[in-house]
Amino acid sequence: MSAAVGVDLLRATLEAREEPGVAELLDALETVVSEAHVHEAALELTPLKRRVYRLHLNESRAHSVILKRSEPPIAQLNRLVAERWLPALRLGDHCAALLATVADRQGRWFWQIYEDLGLDTLERQSDRPRVGATTDLIAELHGRGAGQALLPEVRQYGKDLGLAFFAGNVGDAIRGLERLGGEETPGELRSLGDRLLRRMYPLAVDMPNRAQVLKDAGGPDTILHGDLWRHNAFATVSAGAVHVQLIDWDHVGVGPLAYDLSTFLMRFPAAERPWILDRYRETLCLAGLQLPSEHQLNVLFETAEYARFANRVSWAAMAWLHEGAEWDLIELAEIERWFEALRPILAE
C-alpha cells in the first residue's frame, strides 16, 4: 500500500471501532496487497457483521478482501478447514481462499484475510441451478467425510455434533434455567425460565428414544459445516456452470449428516424441500450412503433443532447468572417462540 493517507485512514477507522491488533493486520495487508499487484491505497472499509469487514483496495472497487477477527480456536478451525480438511476431501476450492493469518501482540485475537467471494449468496439468489449445485456440494462433503481418516482431528479441534451435543446442551440448559429461579432474578425472567424448563424436562426424559433413532438411522459420523444458512453459501454462475463455496466454518464438527441437512432445509419454504431432499439423496447415493425414511429424518432433524435451542438457552442463562446481561430476557423470549413455531421439516 503505497499511499500513506489510505493506510492512516484505515488505521484510524479500525482503532475508532476499538479493534485490537491493527498494527499487525496492516503489516499482513501490505504483503497481501503487494502479492496481488495492487498499488493504490485502501479507500473503503465496509462492516459486514460483527468482527467482519470488506476492504476495497482501489478506487475502481475491483479489488477487495474480507477481514475477519476471531478468537484463536476459531481462527485455527478455519485455517484447518481451508488448508487441510477440505483439501483432504478434494474439496479445497469450495471455500474462500485464506490469504493471511496474523495475531495481535497478546495472542488473544487473530485476523484472517480472505478472498472476497462477492455477493452471490443463496440468500440473494436462490434459483434452482444454484440451490441444486449447493445441495450437491453438501452431499459430497457428507459422503466424502463419512469415515474419513481425519475425523478424530476434526472432532478434537471442532465440535461433536451428535448425541453428545444434544445431551450436553439439554443438561446445561436445565441447570442454568433452574438457577434462574432464585429471588434475585426478576419475576418476568423467572416466569420465562419456568416455561422453558417445561420444554426442557421432556427432552431429557426422551433422550434414550432419540439416542436409539440416532443409532438406527443417523448413519455414520461425517464432517459437518455446522452452520448451513443460505448466507454462508456462495453460488457463482460462469459459462453456464455453478461454482459453490461455503464460508464461516466456525462451527465445523463431526456428527450425523442430519445436523447439517436440517439447518439447510429449514432455510427454504416447505414446498421446496422435497426436490432439495431428492437431489441430496441422489448425490449421497454416489458415495454409497442412503437416507432413512422421512419419519426418521424428522426425528433426527427435531433432535438437531432442539440441541441448538438448548445451546442458546444455556448460553443465555450463563450470561445472566455471571454477568447480569440485559439482553437475556429478549434472547430467551425469542427461543420460546422458536419452540412454539417448530413443525416437522418434512411432510411424511
pLDDT of 304 over the 70 cut = yes
Confirm or reject CATH 3.30.200 for domain 4-115, answering yes or no.
Answer: yes
Q: What is the pLDDT of residue 321?
A: 92
Q: Taking the CB of residue 90, how many other CB atoms lie within 10 A of it?
A: 10
Same fold, 4-115 and 128-341: no
pLDDT of residue 4: 39
Query: Residue 3: its pLDDT value, please?
Result: 38
* Rounded-to-integer distance, Cα 89 and Cα 92, Å: 7
Answer yes or no: is pLDDT of 34 > 80. Answer: no
Q: Which CATH superfamily is domain 128-341 in?
A: Aminoglycoside phosphotransferase (APH), C-terminal lobe (3.90.1200.10)
pLDDT tens-digit profile of 70-122?
Answer: 999 999 999 999 999 999 999 999 999 999 999 999 999 999 999 999 999 99
Cα 135-138-143 angle, rounded to 5 deg? 120
| pTM of this structure | 0.93
Specify the pLDDT at position 8.
Answer: 83
147 or 59, greater pLDDT? 147
Tell me the mean pLDDT in the region 314-337.
94
**What integer is the mean pLDDT of 276-284?**
98
Residue 37 has pLDDT above 70, yes or no: no
What pLDDT is stored for residue 1 in this prediction? 41
Question: What pLDDT score does 44 carry?
Answer: 82
Q: What is the mean pLDDT of the chain?
A: 93
Domain residue extents for the chain: 4-115, 128-341
